[in-house]
Amino acid sequence: MLWNIDLTLLDVAKVTRVAYAEAFAAVTGRPLVQLPQMVGYTEPEIFFDALGRNGVSLRADGDSERLVQPFGAEFASRLAARKQDLTKQGHLMPGAVDTLAAVAGLEGVVQSVLTGASRPNAALKLRAFGLDRYLDLRIGGFAGSEPYPKGALLGATRLRAEEKYQASFAGRATVYVADSPRDVEAAKIGDALAVGVASGRASAAELRDAGADAIFPDLTDPAHLVSLITEHPRTA
């Protein structure tokens, strides 16, 4: 069972935007005037979008690419410095804790994350709200730290889980719960069951059009999701 984090389990957008703007200015020497597209995107994708939107040319000599790593480190540092603000200015999505707890009680189910965030940023957000106790972050997929798109990273995450737990999570035995059409598409690429939650920017109709196998308005009905997991054949 893989979870997206932002706008699926929690919302810390206000804090993230401030930390992002600080890091962008520190690394590029330019203020972040226009916000980049963030929903469903990985941290490197967001960074390149921010460069283009804010007048920083994407150079063919690779100079822009060399900014990715220092920006990632600066962003993680700025976000960590605002750790206390995560719970003050952010919040859990309705039903997130109860749903994670309910799924954690299912025999043979392992929970982790597949996120566009880097490993340190994802862990910081989850731990701030105590959600990490339900998740095995050691097998998670962190597209902000790994050189794979989410669809391919889903497969890599599955292999890590199979190696650690000596069990098969092949094909549709893997479930990915997320709030954006791009994440639904990643689930399809990774041959996982795509569960859309209309708690983010996308509507139920948009998630359905992207190919979601099941759609929930939010996570306030844990029993419904548990039924989906237990009744779905766990076969490739």
Helical H segments across the chain, by residue range = 13-28, 43-53, 68-81, 83-89, 96-104, 119-128, 150-165, 181-189, 204-210, 222-231
Contact by Cβ (8 Å): 154, 165: no
Q: What confidence tens digit (pLDDT) does each residue in 45-58 have?
A: 888 889 888 887 66
Task: Estimate the crossing angle of helix 119-128 against helix 68-81, to 10 degrees.
Answer: 10
- Cα gap 235→223, rounded to integer Å: 22
Helical H segments across 31-180, by residue range = 43-53, 68-81, 83-89, 96-104, 119-128, 150-165
pTM for this structure? 0.92
Contact by Cβ (8 Å): 195, 216: yes
Cα angle for residues 120, 87, 10 (degrees, 5° grid) = 70
- Cα gap 193→216, rounded to integer Å: 14
Contact by Cβ (8 Å): 142, 118: yes
Pair of tokens at residue 162: 């199979």
pLDDT of res. 146: 87
The set of residues, in sequence order, having a beta carbon less than 8 Å from that of 123 and lying 6+ positions away, is 132, 137
pLDDT tens sequence for the chain (236 residues): 999 999 999 999 999 999 999 999 999 988 999 888 777 788 888 888 898 888 876 654 456 678 889 999 999 999 999 999 999 999 999 999 999 999 999 999 999 999 999 999 999 999 999 999 999 999 999 998 988 889 999 999 999 999 999 998 887 789 999 999 999 999 999 999 999 999 999 999 999 999 999 999 999 999 999 999 888 655 43
pLDDT of res. 236: 39
